[in-house]
Amino acid sequence: MAIPPSAIKSASSNFVWASVTIIIMGLAPLEGLVSGAADYTAATNKNAHCRGWLVVDFDGTCTARDTTPLLPWLACVLQDRGDLLEERMHMFRALEEEFLALYSRAKQSICPTKMSLDEALDTLDQASNEVTAKVSASRILQGLHVTPEEMRTFLQNEKTDKSIQDHVQLLPECISVLSRAQQCNWNLGILSINWCPALIHATVLHS
C-alpha cells in the first residue's frame, strides 16, 4: 500500500500529544541495545547510586523524522485494513489540528506571575488529555498493539512499503552514541510521547 509523502506530513513539527512511554534500556554484551524490567532491576541494584542517567527523546532525536503522523497508516497496514486508511488519516489530521488549537489557547492563558509551574503544566496537560481521550475513543490507531519482534519483522520485510521503512530511519550514529554512553556505565532511557512502544523497541532497542 503506497501513500504519497504529503499524506503523512504533520501539521506542525511541534505536534506533541500522545501517551507517555518510558522505556529503560540496558546493554546486553555483543547484542546491541535491549530493554525490559530485568535490565532495569539489574541496573538499579548494582551500583545504581553511582551511575548517572541519560534519558533521550525518540522522535526527531533518535529518528531523522517525526514518526507520529505515520502511525494511522502503520496501524491500517498491520491490520490489513487499507479500506480504512483515508478515513483514519483524515480523522487523525483533524484531531491534530484540534490539539494544536487547544494547546495554543492554553499557552496564551498561562500567567507566569500568578501561576505555579505545576499549575501551568496542568493547563497544558488539559489540551493533551482532551484530545488523547478522543483518539482512544476513535480507535484510529487500532492495530499498533503488536510485539517489538512482530514490528521489527514487519519493518524488515522486503514486502513492506519502502515509504514506511524510510520514515523510521534513525539518525546517523544514533546507536553508536547510545552504546558508548552505556559502555561508560550510564543508565539509558527513552522518554517518549510516541503512541507505539513496539516501534521504539523495533527501531532503537533492537538495532
pLDDT confidence of residue 97: 94
Instruction: Kindly report, residue by residue over 104-141, the tens digit of the pLDDT.
Output: 999 999 998 899 999 999 999 999 899 989 999 999 99
pLDDT at 68 over 80: yes
24: β partners: 189
Task: Tell me which long-range contacts 181-187 makes (C-beta under 8 A, separation of at least 24).
Answer: 181/54, 182/25, 182/26, 182/27, 182/33, 183/27, 185/47, 185/51, 186/51, 186/52, 186/53, 186/54, 187/24, 187/43, 187/44, 187/48, 187/51, 187/52, 187/53, 187/54
User: How sure is the predictor about 42, in pLDDT bands with cuts at 50, 70 and 90?
Assistant: very low
User: How sure is the predictor about 173, in pLDDT bands with cuts at 50, 70 and 90?
Assistant: confident
* Structure-model confidence comparison of residues 51 and 200, the more confident one: 200
CA distances from 101 to 56, 131, 140, 152, 193 (A): 27, 11, 20, 35, 19
**25-29, 41-45, 162-166, 179-183, range with the lowest pLDDT:** 25-29
Instruction: Kindly report, residue by residue over 3-12, the tens digit of the pLDDT.
Output: 443 444 444 3
Q: Tell me which amino acid residue 4 is.
A: P
pLDDT confidence of residue 188: 82
Instruction: Kindly report, residue by residue over 157-169, the tens digit of the pLDDT.
Output: 988 888 888 889 9
The number of beta carbons lying within 10 Å of the beta carbon of residue 189 is 17
